[in-house]
Amino acid sequence: MTSPEQHVVPFASPAAASGAPYVEQAVAYDGILLAGFGGPEGQDDVIPFLRNVTRGRGIPDERLEEVAHHYRHFGGVSPINAQNRALKAALEAELAARGIELPVYWGNRNWAPYLDEAVTDAAAAGDTRLLGLATSAYSSFSSCRQYREDFARVLIDTGLEGTVTIDKVRQFFDHPGFVQPFVDGVRDAVGGFLADGIAPESVRVLFSTHSIPTADAERSGPREGDERHRDLGEGGAYAAQHLAVAEVVMAAVAAEVSGAERIGWDLVYQSRSGPPSQPWLEPDVNDVIAELPAAGVQAVAIVPLGFMSDHMEVLWDLDTEAMDAAAEVGIRSVRTPTPGVDPVFVSGLVDLVQERLSGTPAAERPHATDLGPWFDVCRPACCENVRAGFKPAAAGVAP
């Protein structure tokens, strides 16, 4: 494979355009682009929102309505937009406290306010060097590359290609600011179980994340032939990153809670949406919960490891379905918090911004696992969607 340094990365700042994995020179960004998934904010929004999410897949409204009931159960309102408004405000406050004078522009992929509007507003204000911050910590098509493709699409569709550049902070799955809130949540949950007299061997921790197609998972992370490729095992970078973070969390909890080193844990998946004929990552969280009593488990802590905040998948799939599954088999259950706007997490996000403002060398960047620090510039063919193929993408080496 051609060396990445021989490529020019499109849509990027001059510092990132060489294609080197890490940008280790300071970049004077004009603003931060907070990129979210988006969600409906009323019953009339639900089906149009789901059409946006599934665009190009030809799914009829009757099938979309099967998913819509999750949103309708909560009045048609996803919590995600309110959470991103809160995150935007928290970022602005932390930036101001540190004396970093950067505006935060917020746009979504699937619902208003859209990314197109955010980038257009930034350009109108003269802020043309943007640093993207996607609201997803891990590597896969849906959690990284799809955001990068949307960045490129927006620049092309708005005619701002060549005027506005968009880089992106590294995937932050193992940044201490993201990891610590999970450590706190698991410590409190298992500490409560143990304090109530439940033996460590009768407690289980389930780290839950969004299932994705197995083919997408296998193509997450650098491809074979790239000098940064490593054998990450079944599930590619996506599964490996979650497993690595879960191990760090459990080790930290074991160091703080007596007996926690004897507590078992698993990585589980949720929110599968593909046809039965298509392999997706398993096991499903509810299937695992159903088997826990036979293993002598009396209490389970469910950790939304794949989520930054309380998305609909957390409120429905974990707080509703998984909790019901635990109740049905007679075991205690606790769902631990997502990072949300935890001050440690918000501070960590601004640390990631500061890395790029200062050009912090990779060797000096904090990371809690051996997989990090992840790349600033995504590697060639990273996180391919095998069904849709490659589209132009910012913040990475083509394709």
Instruction: Enumerate the known binding-site residues for Fe(2+).
Output: 210, 313
- Annotation: binding site for Fe-coproporphyrin III: 78, 147
- At 268 the three-state DSSP class reads strand
CA dihedral of residues 348, 353, 356, 361 (deg, nearest 10): -10
Instruction: Name the nearest CA neighbour of 194 among 334, 338, 337, 339.
Output: 334
Give Cα 43 distance to the centre of its chain.
26
Rounded distance, CA 132 to CA 187, Å?
Answer: 32
Q: Residues near 112 by Cβ (< 8 Å), separated by ≥ 6? A: 38
Instruction: Name the nearest CA neighbour of 395 among 164, 152, 141.
Output: 152
- Annotation: binding site: 78, 147, 210, 313
For residue 131, the cross-strand partners are 32, 167
Q: Residues near 175 by Cβ (< 8 Å), separated by ≥ 6? A: 137, 348, 351, 352, 366, 367, 368, 372
286 DSSP assignment? H
CA dihedral of residues 226, 150, 305, 320 (deg, nearest 10): -140
**How would you class 99 by CB atoms within 10 Å of its CB: exposed for 0-12, middle for 13-18, buried for 19 or more?**
exposed
Peptide bond into 343 cis (omega under 30): no
Rounded distance, CA 300 to CA 366, Å?
Answer: 31
Phi, psi of 327 (to 5 degrees): -65, -35
Measured CA angle at 58 (ends 52, 59), to 5 deg: 75
Read off the tokens for 166.
């968009």
Q: Residues near 389 by Cβ (< 8 Å), separated by ≥ 6? A: none
